[in-house]
Structure 1
Amino acid sequence: MKKHFLDLFRYNEWANNRLLITLEDSQVKDDKIMTLFSHLLSAQIIWINRIKDLPTSPFPLWEQYKLNEIKSMNEESNRNWRDLIEKHPRETFEEMIFYKNTKGTKYESTLREIISHVLNHSTYHRGQVMSRLRELDFAPPVTDYIAYCRQK
């Protein structure tokens, strides 16, 4: 499981980086794109902070950040998720994580469920960003998992 999650987070990093390069190179200025990408990364950081029992308030879920802030958030998220998974003491990720959502409601989920959610959530919102790029007549980068696997 550890190898699998590390690979998926490497893919997530690769896909986010490709998107960042496209936004920078194309000089895309679109509030919807920036808000979606900001949300994607805020959520990644919020979830890692929940797992580590750290405050989540510095990263509002729907705040819009500038491209340089998004880059920094992406680097921080990548580093923290990779570190969490690499240093995890077991091959399974079934321990329960107790946390509160943004409204203060208490929940519990396994680490495996949270990791799967974070990765799926990121893919979903990257897809929304890709659709918006197409609407604005920009060519979105290829971020398919299989494309990532082919270039490894």
Structure 2
Amino acid sequence: MESHLNQLFDYNFYCNKELILQAKDVVDYPESCKRLFSHILNVHHLWNAAMLGEASEYTQWQIHAIEDWEDIHYNNQRTTFGLLRNTEDLSKRINYTTEKGNTYTTEYKDVLFHIINHSTHHRGQLLVELRKHNVEPLELEYIIYKR
């Protein structure tokens, strides 16, 4: 399980890194895309903080400057790999409270997979938004990454 999660986080890192590089090259990067990509970064950070039992520095929909994305992304990835290396049992459970005030308990492995799935979901939305703004979307499918 840990090996597969490591591969998925490598893929996640690659995709986000490519989108960051593309955003830096687009003159008028769409606000809707800044919002979506910031959200991807924020939620990854929020889950890392929850698994570490720490307070988050960001809110779900906080918007970051493109110039800050790379550092946030790198720190998210570094923190997640640290969690994967230092957690002996991925069925370990964390308690957390949503922004709506609901309390839940979830296994680490499910939270980690959620981070990947959530990122993929919103990257898809972001790519549609880029196309609407005449920016050619990148090919970020997993199978292409694995070739």
User: Normalising by structure 2, what TM-score?
Assistant: 0.95
Counterpart of 1:120 in structure 2 is: 117
Cα displacement (A) at 1:100:
1.2
Alignment of 1:29 with 2:29, yes or no, is: yes
Checking the alignment, whether the CA contact within 8 Å between 2:30 and 2:130 is kept in structure 1 is no
Checking the alignment, whether the CA contact within 8 Å between 2:95 and 2:103 is kept in structure 1 is yes
User: Normalising by structure 1, what TM-score?
Assistant: 0.92
Segments of 5+ residues of structure 1 without an aligned counterpart are none
Count of residues paired in the alignment? 147
Cα distance in 2, alignment partners of residues 29 and 43 from structure 1: 21
Segments of 5+ residues of structure 2 without an aligned counterpart are none
Cα distance in 2, alignment partners of residues 50 and 28 from structure 1: 34
- Where 1:132 maps in the other structure, the secondary structure is helix
Checking the alignment, whether the CA contact within 8 Å between 1:38 and 1:63 is kept in structure 2 is yes
Q: How does 1:57-72 map to 2 (within 5 A)?
A: 58-72=57-71
* Larger RCO: 1 or 2 (CA < 8 Å, sep 6+): 1
Checking the alignment, whether the CA contact within 8 Å between 2:94 and 2:106 is kept in structure 1 is yes
Cα distance in 2, alignment partners of residues 143 and 20 from structure 1: 13
Q: How does 1:1-152 map to 2 (within 5 A)?
A: 1-56=1-56, 58-90=57-89, 93-150=90-147
> CA-to-partner distance for each residue in 1:19-56, whole Å, 9 max, x for gaps?
11111122342110000000011000000100110002
- Where 2:94 maps in the other structure, the secondary structure is strand
Taking every aligned residue pair, what percent have the same amino acid on both sides?
27
- Where 2:106 maps in the other structure, the secondary structure is strand
Cα distance in 2, alignment partners of residues 65 and 26 from structure 1: 16
Cα distance in 1, alignment partners of residues 131 and 30 from structure 2: 12
Large movers: runs of 4+ above 4 Å: none
Cα distance in 2, alignment partners of residues 148 and 73 from structure 1: 22
Cα distance in 1, alignment partners of residues 86 and 50 from structure 2: 17
Checking the alignment, whether the CA contact within 8 Å between 2:36 and 2:122 is kept in structure 1 is yes
Cα distance in 1, alignment partners of residues 119 and 15 from structure 2: 10
In structure 2, the CA distance between the partners of 1:66 and 1:116, relative to structure 1 (3 Å rule), is same
